[in-house]
Chain A
Amino acid sequence: MKIRKQQIDEVLAIIIEEKEANLSKSEQFKELTLQEINNGHRKLIISFVNVDYLDSSFLGALVAILKSLLPLDGKLVLFGMNEDILNLFQITRLDKIFVLKMSLEEALKEF
């Protein structure tokens, strides 16, 4: 699972550097991100700019991350999703649960 991390003031941006966010990567991504939460990060941004498609396993990983973050008064913002991925969030109604933004600049304004 290729990711890149970027600290922007208090916010940790995790940039997914894979085209396919699927079941072969979801568990590792979840563990990597939960590790960052365990390390004290509470303000997270995840970038999907490089991602072509996302499956149910990866959506499940995102839900698990959000569930871990919210009781700690943390915040998670996702950005850079293509039309297919946005449709997936809409169809599962997860667009009502997650904060979705188009760009990094917009995502940073949420903090």
Chain B
Amino acid sequence: MTKSFPIIVELEVPQKAEEILSFTKTVIAKINQHKSLNSEQQGRIKMILIELVTNSIKHGNEGVSQIRLVIDQPSLTIQKSEKGLHIKFSSSSQQIPFKEIDQRLKISFSEQNRHHIQTLDTYKFKFLNPYLEGLTIEHMPEHFGFYIITMASDSFIYQYDPETKENSFLVHLNL
């Protein structure tokens, strides 16, 4: 039987840390039903899922978070959506909504947590390679979640819909 792509799978994000590992295994099994993943791809997807779910649990967002998988040829998009307020950066950073589009910015969520982003729209930005300035233990952050997703994926985009108050984290992988 010929499969018709894209295949869309929707899942509820677990709310307990103890459920993360089994959740990642379930998701990878579902993807493997439609597209055979090698161990390197499985490893990257696992890292991304662990961090997306950890982020939801850590920040205790109101309501249930959803994960939507779009399995296509030859790509995979993992989208996490959750209701709530949009991301806020530390006070020294430019804030959402952005005034200028297609601009590279340095933002931070805490003193030691610096990110490079590119603004794509008023409420949308893309995470860029966090290691542009090298790496030393003195400047090493203690919060790696978004770094890991950025480095494990081919594209990591955040967007917010002010009307529906929905946060979306879009992770794209070329498979």
Instruction: In the complex, identify which listed stretch (B93-101, B137-145, B166-174) lies at the interface while the others stay far away.
Output: B137-145
Binding site for A on B (CB under 8 A): 17-18, 20-21, 39, 43, 46-47, 50-51, 54, 57-58, 131, 135, 137, 140-145, 147-148, 151-152
A24 x B144 contact (CB < 8 A): no
Q: How large is the interface on A (under 10, 10 to 19, 20 to 34, 35 or more residues)?
A: 20 to 34
Contact of A67 among B43, B137, B144 (CB under 8 A): B137
The reply to whether A22 and B148 contact each other, CB–CB distance below 8 Å, is no
Contacts of B142 in A (CB 8 A): 60-61, 63-64
Chain A contact residues, majority secondary structure: helix
- Give the residue name and chain of the B residue nearest to A24 (CB): B17
Given contacts A60-B143, A97-B137, contact A92 B151 (CB under 8 A): yes
**A53-B137 contact given A60-B142, A93-B131, CB 8 Å threshold:** no
**9 closest cross-chain pairs (CB), A and B:** A60-B142, A56-B144, A24-B17, A56-B145, A91-B151, A22-B17, A59-B144, A87-B43, A55-B54
Residue of A nearest to B135 (CB): A93
- Given A56-B148, A57-B58, A60-B143, also A91-B47 (CB < 8 A): yes
Is the Cβ of B46 less than 8 Å from the Cβ of A84?
yes
